[in-house]
Amino acid sequence: MTTLDKAPAEASAPTAAPLPGSAPEPVATAPERKLKLGGVTREDVFTVLGALVGSLGLDWVLYERVLPFSGALGFLLCWYLLFLVGYYGLGRLQWGGLMVRERLVSVVAWSSGALVLGLIADQIGYVASRGYEAAQHGNFFTETMERTASLSPITSGGAVHAVVGSLEQLGLATLFAVPLGIAAAVFMSEVGGRMARPVRTLVEAMTALPSIVAGLFILGIVILTFGFDKSGFAASLALTVMMMPIVTRAAEVVIRLVPGTLREASYALGGSQWRTVWNVVLPTAKRGLVTAVVLGMARAVGETSPVLLTAGFTSRMNANPFEGHQISLPLYIWSYVKLPVDQMVARAFAAALTLMAVVLILFVTARILGGRAAGEMSRRQKRRLARAERQAAVRRPAASSFGAAPVAASVAAPADPAVRPSAAAPFRSAVATGEH
């Protein structure tokens, strides 16, 4: 019932004013409506579907009836271009020019990501389908090729010696390349000087170095000049040459992203340059440095030509990387995939699938070892902080109730004529300082 429907006396009756000291009555307000920013609407979905269907029909007409073109790759490329044009045209019918351009860029980004994921899934699926015949048998992960010939059944032989060789060579290369790469990055970003520019130029040149050149360098210097035999250690040196520029460039970029205020705060507290780098800069850039290490490992783990020139080939288990020939998974794949025997080709694809699994495990392990970000508390620290807050909340009510009487006495003391100011002053100062 509105004000117009009420009686004149009722409608003109003044509203009762709230009593002094009473809390005002809450005013009923409409619930807030949350605005959702971003997301996908029905119009977006229908626009994309309409552009896909329309561009597919137009592409089929052009390829089959009008233009003398053929081939699946050209058909898909033309379909994608027509889809973008159709999406832009349909978007102009609904939205403004700025929103159409924004959504068109979003569609291009999403389609590019979907294309990359599709290519990765296709490669993994193809390798898994070709290597499943050998990987489904347990002997592939427990046996070597020492007693296995080319025409032996698939239930004989394996690649455990190649897995051991890859892990040892990659581990040694990481042990050599990571300290050198991070030290070079710290020199270029924190120390500087006249030598910083030549070092940076050399690192950039080594980034584009072909892998075969790294293998030839180690072959000529370590094996032919110094007389060392081909071994896993020599292969790890070649992989170090490939890893170090990647780690250095990525680490330098990450270290330069550390805010300069952190360095200034460390210097203001009296820290030296090396202590600032060790205790402030490197811990702050820890996650980025782990990413740099992962990029270097990704570059080295699949190299074949440096290992082919420096590690040799063997079908036996050799767990000593400093003596004798040692095979790795990339070399195992390269050696067996070219043989005209189905069993050997299946073993090669199973080794490729194993290499993917090893790389995934190494990357996950590196991420776990990288730990939390700078300034982020661990679970143990969060539990300790929560426990301290609960204990402080329990002690706070007891302290307030215990201190209520002295506070009241101190307030009433100046009004009591029997209490002299000289006697009340020490008591008030004691209460103000929290002494009971």
**How far from each other are the two terminal CA atoms of the chain, in whole angstroms?**
62
CA-based nearest residue to 338, from 308, 358, 297? 308
CB environment 169-193: b (16+ within 10 A), e (fewer): bbebbbebbbeebbebbbbbbbeee
3-class DSSP state of 260: helix
Model confidence over 196-208: pLDDT tens digits? 899 999 999 888 8
Please report the pLDDT score of residue 178 as a whole number.
94
Given a contact cutoff of 8 angstroms between Cβ atoms, the answer to whether 322 and 230 are in contact is no
Rg from Cα positions in the chain: 36
The one-letter amino acid code at 352 reads A
Given a contact cutoff of 8 angstroms between Cβ atoms, the answer to whether 166 and 358 are in contact is yes
Average pLDDT for residues 105-132, to the nearest whole number? Answer: 93
Phi first, then psi, for residue 232 (nearest 5°) are -65, -30
Please report the pLDDT score of residue 353 as a whole number.
93
Residue 434 zone, left/alpha/beta (φ > 0; ψ -120 to 50; rest): left
Given a contact cutoff of 8 angstroms between Cβ atoms, the answer to whether 179 and 369 are in contact is no
What confidence category does residue 108 fall into, taking pLDDT thresholds of 50, 70 and 90? very high
Q: How far apart are CA 245 and CA 434, in angstroms?
A: 62
Q: How far apart are CA 307 and CA 220, in angstroms?
A: 14
Joined tokens for residue 198: 């030549």
Given a contact cutoff of 8 angstroms between Cβ atoms, the answer to whether 215 and 269 are in contact is no
Please provide the average confidence, as pLDDT, over all residues in the chain. Answer: 83
- Tell me the C-alpha to C-alpha distance, in Å, between residue 110 and each of 45, 100, 124, 355, 427: 13, 15, 21, 29, 73
pTM of the full predicted structure? 0.71
CA-based nearest residue to 209, from 169, 241, 250? 241
Model confidence over 281-317: pLDDT tens digits? 999 998 889 889 988 998 898 889 899 999 989 999 9
Q: Give the length of the chain.
A: 436
Query: CB 87: neighbour CB atoms within 10 A?
Result: 22
pLDDT surpasses 50 at 1: no
Model confidence over 129-183: pLDDT tens digits? 999 999 999 999 999 999 888 888 999 999 999 999 999 999 999 999 999 999 9
* Tokens 């009296």 found at: 270
Residues whose CB is less than 8 angstroms from the CB of residue 161 and which lie 6 or more positions away in sequence, other chains included: 144, 145, 314, 315, 316, 317, 318, 327
3-class DSSP state of 319: coil
Joined tokens for residue 220: 């000529």
Q: How far apart are CA 417 and CA 436, in angstroms?
A: 24
**Candidate from 100-114, 209-223, 401-415 with smallest mean pLDDT:** 401-415
Average pLDDT for residues 223-233, to the nearest whole number? Answer: 91
What confidence category does residue 417 fall into, taking pLDDT thresholds of 50, 70 and 90? very low
- Tell me the C-alpha to C-alpha distance, in Å, between residue 323 and each of 171, 231, 311: 16, 6, 10
Query: CB 330: neighbour CB atoms within 10 A?
Result: 24
Q: How far apart are CA 19 and CA 251, in angstroms?
A: 70
Joined tokens for residue 228: 């060392």
Given a contact cutoff of 8 angstroms between Cβ atoms, the answer to whether 158 and 344 are in contact is no
**Candidate from 182-196, 197-211, 268-282, 385-399 with smallest mean pLDDT:** 385-399
3-class DSSP state of 318: coil
